[in-house]
Structures are given as C-alpha cells and as structure tokens.
Structure 1
Amino acid sequence: MQRRMKSFLCSLLSLLLSDVLATYHLSAGDPQLIAAQSYAQTRNNGRAPFRTLNPAKMDSQCRSRPLDLVFIIDSSRSVRPGEFEKVKIFLADMVDTLDVGSDATRVAVVNYASTVKIEFLLKSHFNKPNMKKAISLIEPLAAGTMTGLAIKTAVNEAFTELSGARLRSKKISKVAIIVTDGRPQDQVEEVSAAARASGIEIYAVGVDRADMRSLQLMASIPLDDHVFYVETYGVIEKLTSKFRETLCGLDPCAMGHDCEHICVNSNASHYCQCRKGYILNADKKTCSLKQVKAAAVVVVEDPCKCEARLAFQKQTLAAIQQLTAKIELLENLVGRA
C-alpha cells in the first residue's frame, strides 16, 4: 500500500513539474534561467498579473507629476533585429501612456552596444507623433554590451539642462529605464551608484538571459519595485501597464511639499492638513493653534447638601466663638468687682 502511494505521489509531482516547465518555457538544465524566473515570480507574488495593452485603446493617460525620462536600450549582437523591433514597440507604447510635453513629461533615448549613441534628447520632441517617428528610425548598433558606459553617458549628456533636463529647483523627477538581455562587459555598480546619488531613479528591465545580479546593482531601491524580468522580447509589452502604474503612481508628498504639518496625496496632486489641536490657515499650507473658548459656568444643585452643611457648621462655630468671648468678658467683670 505504501509503495503504491509513494509511486502515485512521484507521478503527480512529475506531472506538476513538467507543467510548470512548460508554462514558463524553462529548461531543467538551465539553472541561471530558472533562478531568474524564480526571482521574477517571487517579486510578483500577490500582485495583479500584467496586462497586454493595445496602444490604440489606452483607457487614460498618465497625469502624474512631470518627468525627465531617459530610456537606455541594449542593441548588442545578442538582440536580434526582430527583437529590437519589439523594444521599439515597447518604447512607442510607453510614450502613448505618458502625458508628453515641454511642461509635462520629456523623453530621451540612449542606444548602446560597444558604443553609445543618443538617439534624441529631452528637448528634441514635445509631441507624441514626432517622438514615435524618431523611435521608429532607431537602428541597432550590434557588437558588445557596455552598459556602464551607457549609464555614464546618460548622466553626463542626457540628464543635463543643456539637453533639456529641467532645473532641480523645479523638483521634476528624473527617471532612467534600462532594457538589456545580457551581462554588462564593463562595471555598472559605481556608475549606477553615482547616477542614483545625483537624484536619478533607475529601473532595470532584464530580458531572457539577462544577468540578475547586474540588474540589482543598477536599480534603485527597493529592488522589488525597480527590477523587472520578462522571458522574451516578444512579451516585453507586458511591462507597459506595470510602468504606467508605477510612473503614474508617483507620490507627490514624497517628491517634496510645502505643508507645515501633514501632506495628503490626492491623485496626482496633494493638499495639506494640520495635526490635532491646530487649524489650517488661509494659505492652505501653514497651521495655527486652535483657540479654546472659555467654558460657561453652570450652577449645579448639591444633591447631598454638603455645601449647606459646611455653611451651617461655619455659622455654628462663629456663634460659639462669640458666646465664649462674652462669657470671658463677664467673668473678667465679676472678678474685678
């Protein structure tokens, strides 16, 4: 009986394993890909599944705080021409979701392989048709994967005021989205740390055999919110909805506010509140101590008659004192006689 039960359980586990491998297109002999898939599955546990979006049927645009957004895309030899076209479709879909404009979100694209090429700057296109046309004309560079050089170029040349980035005093979020399918051939840790220290938020997107450790070194923290993985370029459009949710869900209060006490998020904006005991002033930013009105004096009848008793005792004591004084006076008069 036990042998038959053990045989049944082994068969069931074998079927489940083969089903999982088939579902995620994994090879049991490829530990790197399995580890990457495991990481991707772990970060998405408990979250809504990705949606495949049709850019022609986008239900609404991103109305978040404006961004200076730079895409850094890998076009090395490992990215086949058809796959690179999928990357460009992903970029075009992302543009469709954003509120693009000179006073809204500005977009630039940095293309890299062994060399780095800035395809267009943040100041180049302020409308979607021109931007999407520029994306369609991007050609792959082939050869190696100099991801660190690409990040450094983006920081030094794309995220500058000369290239269209806005003044830091305007508190415009600066975001870089890196898309790669391989392992960097140069160092990314220090250059990524420098970029983050300069105020650039980095998202790292890995495709197929992308090196997960490198993605983690590049991305901002928390890593669960900044590292993404897809199995192939054919499904990279799944990330469009995820980035739309992320970029349109920016926290205006976290980006800086002028509330004296409490900042409250409200869609893409915010409003101010005061702590208990304070009221919001007319400027809707500062708070003043709430004035407490004096309580009215209310006479309450003493049900136990305690006050009356005390008054009687006082009167009695005063009468006894007066009587004692009179007796002493009489005694003194009698003594003199």
Structure 2
Amino acid sequence: MDPFLSRALLYTFGFLLVGVHGTHYRMYGYPIHNSYMLPPMVHGSAVLPVVVPKPGILASPPHPANVRPKPETRTLQVNQPTDNACKSRPLDLVFIIDSSRSVRPQEFEKVKIFLSDMIDTLDTGERATRVAVVNYASTVKTEFFLKTYFNKAAMKKAVSLINPLSTGTMTGLAIQTALDEAFTEESGARHVTFKIPKVAIIVTDGRPQDRVQDVAARARASGIEIYAVGVDRADIQSLKLMASEPLDDHVFYVETYGVIEKLTSKFKETLCGVDVCAPGRHDCEHICTATATSYQCKCRNGYILNPDKKTCSRIDVCALGRHECEHICVASATSYQCKCRNGYSLNPDKKTCSQEVRSVVQIEDPCKCENLVAFQGQVNTYIESLTTKLDELTKKLQVYEGRRN
C-alpha cells in the first residue's frame, strides 16, 4: 500500500475518533482537551485533515509497522493552545454554591465543572486573583479560603473533592458567612487600600429559606459586588434581591445545570477587565462609569437618572424646589436663573431681592398765585352762603319764640 495513502487513512481514522471533539467542542457538559486540529494536508485533489495528539496522550503510531516512512517534505508548525486566562487585574473572588437536597448529585458535579472552568479563565496567584468557595445548604461550610491556594491545579483538585451538604437552602446565612469569614483579611482578602475588587458569585436552584435582602445589602455596602446565578427552580425575585446593580448585568438564569457552563464565557468577559464602557458594551444614555466589574450610568448636568438606571430626563429644578431664588425661579437648559417681582431688584448674589427706592420730585407750579386767588374766592363764596342760611334760621327762631309768648 502506498505510504502516503496509509498515512491518510490513519489521519482520517484519527479525525473520526478525536478530531470532531477538539478543543472547541464539549460533550455531555465535559470539556474535551485531548487534541487540536492542524491545517489540512493536500494530496492531489484530496484534502485530508491532520490531527496531532497532545504530548502525553496515547495515539496510534504515525506509520504502520511494516511500512518505512519516507522523508518528510515539509515541517508541520504546531502551535500550542494559548492560555485563555485573564491577565488584566486581580480579584478577591468567592463562589457561594448551593448544595441543598434539590441539587441532585449529577447536577452538583456540573456545578463543580463550572467552578473548574471559571478557575481556568482566571489569572490566579498570590498577587493575582484569589479564589475561595463557600458551600451551603441548611449549614454553611467554607471549603477553602482566599489564602489557601494560589495555583489552579490545587484549586481545581479541592473543588473536585467538594461534597454536597444536602438538606435546606439558607442562602442568607451563606452570604453572612462569606462576609464574616471568606472576605476577611485573616482569610486572605486584600486590604481596602489595595483597591482589589471583591466579588461573590452565588449559584442556587431554589428559594432561600431565610431572609437574604438585608444581609445582601450589607455585603454590597461593604464593597462586595454580587452576581446571582439561578438554575431551574430558582426564585428570580430572590436573585434580584441579592445581586448588585445594574441587575441586567448581575442576575443570570439557566434552565438546567447541564448548560451552566455557557456562563463561563460571560463571566470571563465580565471579570477579566473588559472596557465595559466602550461603545456598544453598555446601555447608558449619557455617561457610563466603570465599577469594579461592571458599570453604572450617570446623567449630564441638568438631568436625572430614570428608574431604569439607564436613561435620563431633564431636571426642572424650579418645579422640584431645588433652587435658592428668593422670588422667581426660571429654569434654563442646564440650570436656572433667579428673578425678582415688580418693584424689586436682584442683589449681587443673584438669588435675593431688594425693594427699589423711588425718588419723589417736587415740581413748582408757575401759576401758584392765580390758583391761590381762585381758592380764596371759592372759600368766600361758601362763607357767604353759610351766613345767609344762618340769618334765615335766626329769623325763623324769633318767630317761633314770639308765638310761644
């Protein structure tokens, strides 16, 4: 048999067995990392795939035992897979995983695979990202702390040994334990002066049996950014009560544990320091401000953020009473101006008003003498009229008294 044809058949057989499950494919939720594809070899009009096993992987001999290989006519350049971990910034990352009775054993294995895949995407180390795992049900167990392991192999081995705790779902207690134990400096968390983002990823498939709202609020207030991942029967409202804002970027839901690995790439993009405020990566109408692992929207001067935490509306500071005008507030495009009522003028502070002072001007009447004479004439006439009436009354009184006598 032609040696080249033998090689072609061997490569084709290897492709059918291994190639279709290369590094870019997964089977039954488990990553396949046993081989990677090389550029095809061309022989005449036939294009044959070439599969090269990784070192350490058993493979068939490159040539049949009874065929002596011909000298190679070209060299195949094999590029080793690149490290897909993020290199941008360190994190103090704590996974809080639900292992209550509702999580079946095979489903819990999926959670552990998800954790291992997440660890693979991170740049872990003492001065890089530190990882801890808190396991919970009715009770809470910290599987390992932020200071326990600094390399991926040790972390992944510890994850593989985690056993479910069964029983209830005390999510609030788990968050409190993470706050009191996992995120402390004694357990390996960096001091606040280092400005290392603190991130918690909660994975649950049920409704919490305790109150999570208050404890989650305390955790967020302490600077911990919380992501809530719900699976199958998870209560969406409870996820929203736990997660950080904006909720669209911190609350995730998958139908089954079988597809939870789909979130790995999403978290890799989020946790690896991608510029979340780059055009097309956010929904802010005005201003995008990056946070530790996400972003927040803000508005320009003269606008206020709407309840959706993304869009903005113009502020009518005059209608809302957010001004310092003593009399009249007039809203402008970005602020307001003060004005005064009639009879008042605006003071130099541009806010208060003072009453205007009006001067009275005396104008001398050039006809002053004539007016006085006319006035005197009117007075004399009036006096004469009164005197006449008085005389008439006197006469009537005399007649009346004479009749009485």
- SS at structure 2 position matched to 1:66: coil
- Aligned with 1:61: secondary structure? coil
Q: Which has the higher strand share?
A: 2
Aligned residue type for 1:237:
E
Show the counterpart of 1:320.
Answer: none
| Inter-partner Cα distance in structure 2 for 1:66 and 1:241 | 18
- Counterparts of 2:89 and 2:228 in 1: how far apart (Å)? 21
**How far off its partner does 1:117 sit?**
0.1
Q: CA RMSD in A?
A: 2.4
- Name the structure 1 match of 2:135: 111
For 1:61 and 1:77, the matched residues in 2 are separated by 33
Q: 1:62 to 1:55 in 2, by over 3 A?
A: farther
The superposition leaves residues 226-249 of structure 1 with CA deviations (integer Å, 9 ceiling, x where unpaired) of: 000000000000000000011013
Write the mapping of 1:297-316 to structure 2, written as runs, cut at 5 A.
none
* Residue number in structure 2 paired with 1:294: none
Q: CA–CA distance in 1 between the matches of 2:155 and 2:227?
A: 21
The alpha-carbon deviation at position 207 of structure 1 amounts to 0.1
1:133 — aligned with what?
157
How many residues are treated as equivalent by the alignment? Answer: 206
Q: Equivalent of 1:237, from 257, 261, 266? A: 261
SS at match of 1:237: helix
Using the alignment, how far apart are the partners of 1:53 and 1:59 within structure 2?
19
- Deviations 1:103-122 (Å, cap 9, x if unpaired)? 00000000000000000000
Looking at structure 1, the residues matched to 221 and 30 of structure 2 have their Cα atoms a distance apart, in angstroms, of: 34
1:226 corresponds to 2:250: yes
- After TM superposition, the structure 1 = structure 2 runs for residues 141-160 of structure 1, keeping only pairs within 5 Å, are 141-160=165-184
Amino acid at match of 2:206: G
Larger Rg belongs to: 2
Counterpart code for 1:239 = L
Equivalent in the alignment of 2:145: 121
Do the aligned partners of 1:72 and 1:110 also contact (CA within 8 Å) in 2? yes
Whole-angstrom distance in 2 between the partners of 1:194 and 1:77: 28
Any residues of structure 2 matched to 1:266-277 within 5 Å, and which? Answer: none
Give 3-state SS (helix, strand or coil) of 1:191's partner: helix
**Equivalent residue letter for 1:182:** G
Tell me the TM-score normalised to structure 2 length. 0.49
- The 2-side partners of 1:104 and 1:251 are apart by 19
In the aligned structure 1, how far is the partner of 2:104 from the partner of 2:263?
Answer: 20
Q: Distance in 1 between matches of 2:31 and 2:270?
A: 18
SS state of the match for residue 228, structure 1?
Answer: strand
Pick closer, same or farther for the CA change 1:140–1:190 going to 2, 3 Å: same
Any idea what the Cα deviations from partners look like across 1:145-176, whole Å, max 9, x if unmatched?
00000000000000000000001000000000
Asked if structure 1 preserves the Cα contact closer than 8 Å seen for 2:30 and 2:113, the reply is: no
1:82 aligns with 2:95: no
Cα displacement (A) at 1:64: 2.3
- Report if the CA contact (8 A) 1:65-1:250 is conserved: no
Matches of 1:160 and 1:209, distance apart in 2 = 32
Percent identity over paired residues: 76
Residue among 179, 197, 201 paired with 1:173: 197
Name which of 88, 99, 119 aligns with 2:123.
99
Q: For 2:229, give the aligned amino acid.
A: V
Task: Give runs of ≥4 in structure 1 deviating > 3 Å.
Answer: 52-59, 250-253
Counterpart code for 2:93: L
Contact in 1 for aligned 2:227/2:244 (Cα 8 Å): yes
TM-score, with structure 1 as normaliser: 0.58
Q: Shift of residue 134 of structure 1?
A: 0.3
**1:61 CA displacement:** 1.4
Q: Which runs of 5+ in 1 are unaligned?
A: 1-51, 254-263, 269-337
Q: Which residue of 2 aligns with 1:284?
A: none
Show the counterpart of 1:14.
none
State how far apart, in whole Å, the 2-side matches of 1:196 and 1:211 are. Answer: 20
Give, in angstroms, the shift of residue 90 of structure 1: 0.2
Structure 2 alignment gaps of length 5 or more:
1-28, 34-80, 278-288, 294-405
Q: Which has more helix, going by share of residues?
A: 1
Deviation at 1:191, TM superposition (A): 0.2
